[in-house]
């Protein structure tokens, strides 16, 4: 049950991020994109679904990469200057995610968290090769 609640909260956050992104778009940009797509109701709905899916997958991928590197992030990404930004709660390394291109960058993606307890524990019987 806890996983469903966490999943619902994640989806709600993503939708909130996307809504913020749309609010920051200019009318001209929105109309140009719709014209490019030759948007009719069905095409527009599918386009919206695909954009939501892409953004969700991109954000999930970034979160997984950061977790695998031992970084712990606040779940509330901050939107500034056309991108979402966050920092590791342990080491302070930064990461950003551009909403249009889904590009991510930052120190947190380059190295393991230096202050994460996850990688500080030793395992009995581990090889030292």
| Tokens matching residue 99 | 């909403």
pTM of the model: 0.55
| Tokens matching residue 31 | 């109309």
Distance of CA 122 to the CA centre of its chain: 31
E strands present in 1-129: 78-80, 83-87, 94-98, 104-105
Ordered by start, the domain boundaries in the chain are: 2-119
Q: Tell me the pLDDT tens digit for each residue of 62-75.
A: 888 999 999 998 87
Which pLDDT score is estimated for 113? Answer: 92
| Tokens matching residue 74 | 């606040």
């Amino acid at each position: 049950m806890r996983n469903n609640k966490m999943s619902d909260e994640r989806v709600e956050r993503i939708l909130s991020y996307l809504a913020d992104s749309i609010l920051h778009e200019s009318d001209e940009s929105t109309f140009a994109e719709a014209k490019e797509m030759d948007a009719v109701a069905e095409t527009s709905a599918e386009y919206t679904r695909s954009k939501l899916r892409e953004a969700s997958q991109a954000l999930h991928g970034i979160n997984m990469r950061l977790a695998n590197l031992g970084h712990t992030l606040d779940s509330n990404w901050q939107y500034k200057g056309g991108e979402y930004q966050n920092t590791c709660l342990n080491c302070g390394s930064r990461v950003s995610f551009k909403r249009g291109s889904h590009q991510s960058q930052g120190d947190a993606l380059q190295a393991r968290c230096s202050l994460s307890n996850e990688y500080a524990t030793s395992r009995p019987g581990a090889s030292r090769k």
